Structure 1
Amino acid sequence: MTVRSASARYEGLGKDGKGHVSTQSGVLSDQPYGFNTRFEDEPGTNPEELIAAAHASCFTMALSFALAQAGHADGTLETSAKVTLDKDGPGFKISKSALTLVATVPGIDEQEFDRIADEAKANCPVSKLLNADISLDKTLKPS
């Protein structure tokens, strides 16, 4: 079992509050977040951006390992994720994560690529965590 951690601190309440988020690895260290970074254009991060980064990186790694297990030795995978935050009654919910993949994998056909990519989307740990609609738009470039 692997356990990773992050922490958040929020000072003040509501729109006037300011937060900071840090990760165990130190990649984020007191990174600012708050209403203005989440709903406006103030510099800093927000939970949806962090979830998008986690989903893109998790899916891409899962696909990389699945392709290697299927016997493919080389390739390039580039994934972006767009996470949607919608109003949900008095609060909000993350309703969707849209993955966009562009891949170059020598020697793979479109049917095998689609099958392996769809399985990776369904089985990456972050996809399993999210209770949202997860889409995958994939492009296999000629090698």
Structure 2
Amino acid sequence: MKKSASAVWQGNLKQGKGSISTQSGVLKDQPYGFNTRFQDEPGTNPEELIGAAHAGCFSMALANLLGAAGLTPERIETRAEVTLEQQGQDFSITAIDLTLEARVPGASPEQFEKIANQAKESCPVSKLFKAPISLKATLQQG
């Protein structure tokens, strides 16, 4: 299975503007720029999209593992806070903090914590941060 998203950027970093689109169409030419990323202006940014992907993926992985343990969650709510920090001239994502609240009838606190930690390790987006990243670059002429 493959899913895709795309970004178009025009201009320099601070005055330039871009748009992000997803294959599903849930995002279509969604504007983003320096001001939406670094100055808290309305619009999206890569870090919140990573957070949304991680929260969604983790929640589904948790539901799967709870089901395998014979438990059915009534509600899983996950917040992912992505930390972007400047390190010298570069910026790095230095942490992702997941905050989970869930109602799972029949689960003990110990069992729930163990399964939640398994979900954190097994969620495909969690694994992404340990995966190699490939790049295919093409320079267009003219």
Report deviation, 1:13: 1.2
The question of whether the paired residues in 1 share the 8 Å contact of 2:62 and 2:119 is answered with yes
SS class of match (1:45): coil
Q: Which residue of the partner structure matches residue 129 of structure 1?
A: 128
Q: Which residue of the partner structure matches residue 140 of structure 1?
A: none
Off by >6 Å, runs of 4+ in structure 1 = none
Q: Which residue of the partner structure matches residue 106 of structure 1?
A: 105
Q: Matches of residues 34-73 of structure 1 in structure 2 within 5 Å?
A: 34-73=33-72
Report deviation, 1:115: 0.5
Q: Which residue of the partner structure matches residue 28 of structure 1?
A: 27
Q: How many residues in Structure 1 have an aligned counterpart in Structure 2?
A: 130
Deviates more, 1:39-48 or 1:54-63: 39-48
Deviations 1:6-55 (A, max 9, x none): 00000111201100000000000000111000001322100000000000
Distance 1:42 1:105 in 2: 37
Deviations 1:68-125 (A, max 9, x none): 0111134211111100001122110001110000011001101110110000001101
Distance 1:124 1:56 in 2: 10
SS class of match (1:15): coil
Select the structure that is richer in strand.
1
Distance 1:41 1:98 in 2: 19
TM-score normalised to structure 1 length: 0.88
Q: Matches of residues 68-79 of structure 1 in structure 2 within 5 Å?
A: 68-79=67-78
The question of whether the paired residues in 1 share the 8 Å contact of 2:73 and 2:102 is answered with no
Q: Which residue of the partner structure matches residue 83 of structure 1?
A: 82
Q: Which residue of the partner structure matches residue 13 of structure 2?
A: 14
Structure 2: gaps of 5 or more residues: 131-142
SS class of match (1:71): coil
- Superposed CA RMSD: 0.9
> Residues 73 and 42 from structure 1, CA distance in 2 versus in 1: closer, same or farther, beyond 3 angstroms?
closer
The sequence identity of aligned pairs, in percent, is 58
TM-score normalised to structure 2 length: 0.89
